[in-house]
Structure 1
Amino acid sequence: MSLIRNDYVITPYQAGKWILELSGAHFIVNAYTKSLIDILSTQQNYTEALEKFNLDFSNTLTENEFTGFIETIFTDIPIFKDSSVEAKAPKGFIKFQKKILSPFLAGKIASFISFLFNKKLFWIFFPVLSLAGIFLAFNTPISSLNNISPVWILMLYTVTMFLHELGHIAACRKFTGKNGEIGFGIYFIFPVLYSNISSVWHANKQERIITNLAGVYMQLWCMLIFYGFYWVTQNTTSLYLAYFITLYSFIQIIPFIRSDGYWLLSDITSTPNLLEKSGTEVKNFIKNPIDWVKETREKKSFLLLYGLFNNAILLYFIITQLVYNWKGILHFPVAVLQMVKQMFTFHFSEIILPDNFMITVVFYILLFNTITVNYKKIFSPDKKRDR
């Protein structure tokens, strides 16, 4: 018998902080909140909990004060059995999500590749595959990529994207014993696959880093397979696919969009909600730089530099594309509609990717992401999940 629910999971996150999981939502709690949870989970009633609290914290709260105190602490955390607050999963940037594989089935399939995520094995193969990808990217003549059927590329690339998400699932399951689903959704106007690996919050830092890199890792294995097939058969479609996978993999590691690289940097620096926190830091600095310098906050300089550099990189890319690729940008919606029409009418041979197609795709994604993120920064109140 306890005063709170017993279906929660709490694990160490970093020094003085823990991850609390409730109803699929995750909260970062500090040492004091962790101690309060321990008290509430072991006491039979509020009188006993109050006595334990006052003893442990050398306090003299009354029962009414104690009740009000814990209600304030857990305002947004549905820890109580009769809590009227529902745990809500954080809003994702992937919309219209549809489950393709259940957590059970995704975990079963992922178990066949889990051996690849042995820590020693991973740290041997990931650098080697990355170097192979760099070699491929710089030694593949662009002229060899002409006259390739985009239909075959799309079909085979979709398989590698599934393996990308399966890699995340396999790593998460190996390190935590749990995983979520693999699904389909829409990012901006583009169909994408996603994997639910929220359980990785309970892994240690190295395991979270490996899980973040797991998708790229699996695609680099695909790159090696397709490149090897090219050397045996001289099939240019295989070369194009290996080249394309390499470029996409390295783009994924860029930490200035919500990609694998973003989550990687977030875990390396132990900074949850990195984009939101850096945006808040930039906003505070611009509003009053003198007060910002005087204030003492954890990682404020890093967050400011990341926020400024992030916005500078995105702005530079968007401006250069508007100046040098404006025709491709304007034609892009028409080109996409034409490709969709040709696919639905089975005229696959007529599908032609426009020049700078992938760069234009990245432009629209970054533009959409920049507009939505900055809109939320300006018009949405700051939300804290660290207690």
Structure 2
Amino acid sequence: MTTSPASALSHLEIAQVGTGMPTTYLLKTPATSFYVRESVYRIIEGLRQGLTYAQISAQLQADGLNVPEQAVQELAETTLTRLNESAAAKSDVVANMQYVFGKITLLRPARLPRLLRLLGHLFNPALMPVLVVSCLLATGLYFYQVTDTFISQHRSIWRGNEGIWLVVAYIIYFTVFICHELGHASATRRFGLDPGDIGFGFYLIFPVFYADVSVIWALDRTRRIVVNLGGIYFQLLLNGLFVAVAYAFPATYLFLSPIIILNSLVMLYSLNPFLRYDGYWIYSDLFNLPNLRTQSRRYWATLKKRWGNVPMRQLVRSTEWPLFVYTVSSTVVITILAIVFVKVLYTSLVGVGVVFSYYGHWHLAEYHPDDLLTLARTLFLLIISGFFGHRLIKARRRPASVSSPV
């Protein structure tokens, strides 16, 4: 090896993740991070102390871990290789994030310690379940009581006022998703970590929000799930607030109904695990499936190899059902979403093309408000598309694992 173990490990941070068995550790550098088992952690600590492979092996065997010297060397070299590649990994991350241009930082959580501490109280283990159940019941009751009335009347309140409602939709969009990101940030701070910035920019042609919460990989699985639920949780609290206002002031229900419906739909969409949004990370942690998307792609190849070589009842092993369900469902859902999205976007862009073509022939004097609404609807579609797609590049990369023979 060209790099000595001591120098390669000089900037390495190690943190124990959780308290369960087997014990897991997070190895973290400024550019990358990954999980290791206790045996690999012991090897790394031995190298940092300047011990030889033989001495490390002897220590492990004295503690009942049968790791021969050759295995110690292989695990050490694998880990050091990962660390030596961290600079290249960092360059890849930087290049990836460069696709987000025109970035504007909206909130710096480091400058809002009091706000985050205050919001963090909403994650109190005694308070959070009460608020969740209360807001769910309030939202469900509201839908049950007023949806029929709203559906029968919403055309009348939209007719002639579509421009106003589009402005309202934009305001709601920004407010809801800032609160969503604050939910993640305040949960992260609640567990003693510092969240990254929350901002706005453009990914390709899509306006997007972005947030860096990559530090949550130092938390145990349960706390990561809470952080990933934080955004949806805050949206649910907003729903509870909107419902309370609607009941306190009945005249507002026609105005608040589309807000509650839109917010509820976004929450449900956020829970879907098929795109790299909150539901994806929750499913991954819930069933202990790191690198879920990669595992899903590889699982098709595994099933193909087994097909015809094992009985049908053994095609999917008992421990693989969460991965099997995800693999099949994600393939079907993403295919359907892609078809629907392309169709809707094509129709919208054709409408925009007709508008520009018409006014390009000097028909400006014949301007009609519906044409502006066509442009506004298309822009809103692009914004929504950007929000739902930006998690593909969001800085929440899951650490990989270095395998251990024990």
| TM bracket (short chain) | 0.7 to 0.9
Task: Identify unmatched segments of 5+ residues in structure 1.
Answer: 341-346, 374-382
1:284 to partner: Cα distance: 2.5
2:151 paired with 1:142: yes
CA RMSD across the alignment: 4.3
Q: 1:8 to 1:298 in 2, by over 3 A?
A: farther
Paired positions, count? 356
2:275 paired with 1:271: no
One-letter identity of the residue aligned with 2:131: F
Q: 1:366 to 1:175 in 2, by over 3 A?
A: closer
Report what 1:380 is aligned to: none
Report what 1:73 is aligned to: 79
Q: 1:337 to 1:151 in 2, by over 3 A?
A: farther
One-letter identity of the residue aligned with 1:307: T
Q: 1:180 to 1:115 in 2, by over 3 A?
A: same
Q: 1:95 to 1:353 in 2, by over 3 A?
A: same
1:311 to partner: Cα distance: 1.0
TM-score of the pair, normalised by structure 1: 0.75
Report what 1:105 is aligned to: 111
2:40 paired with 1:36: no
Q: Which has the higher contact order (CA 8 A, sep 6+)?
A: 2
Task: Identify unmatched segments of 5+ residues in structure 2.
Answer: 357-367
1:331 to partner: Cα distance: 1.9
Q: Deviations over 1:321-379 (max 9, x none)?
A: 48xx94x4432235678999xxxxxx99975479x98997799679989xx99xxxxxx
Q: 1:289 to 1:223 in 2, by over 3 A?
A: same
The 5 Å alignment of 1:1-387 reads: 3=6, 4-13=9-18, 15-16=21-22, 17-23=24-30, 25-41=32-48, 43=49, 45-47=50-52, 50-57=54-61, 61=69, 70-78=76-84, 85-88=87-90, 95-96=99-100, 98=103, 100=105, 101-105=107-111, 107-138=113-144, 139-140=146-147, 141-146=150-155, 147=158, 149-186=165-202, 189-231=205-247, 232=249, 234-235=251-252, 236-290=254-308, 299-318=319-338, 321=340, 326=343, 328-334=344-350, 352=373, 385-387=400-402
Distance 1:135 1:339 in 2: 43
Aligned residues of 2:195 and 2:213 also touching (Cα < 8 A): yes
Q: 1:71 to 1:108 in 2, by over 3 A?
A: farther
> Max radius of gyration: which structure?
2
TM-score of the pair, normalised by structure 2: 0.72
One-letter identity of the residue aligned with 1:263: W
Q: 1:145 to 1:220 in 2, by over 3 A?
A: farther
Aligned residues of 1:157 and 1:241 also touching (Cα < 8 A): no
Q: Secondary structure at the match of 2:209?
A: strand
One-letter identity of the residue aligned with 2:218: H
Q: 1:99 to 1:50 in 2, by over 3 A?
A: farther
Q: 1:248 to 1:102 in 2, by over 3 A?
A: same
Distance 1:290 1:248 in 2: 42
Q: Share of identical aligned residues, percent?
A: 22
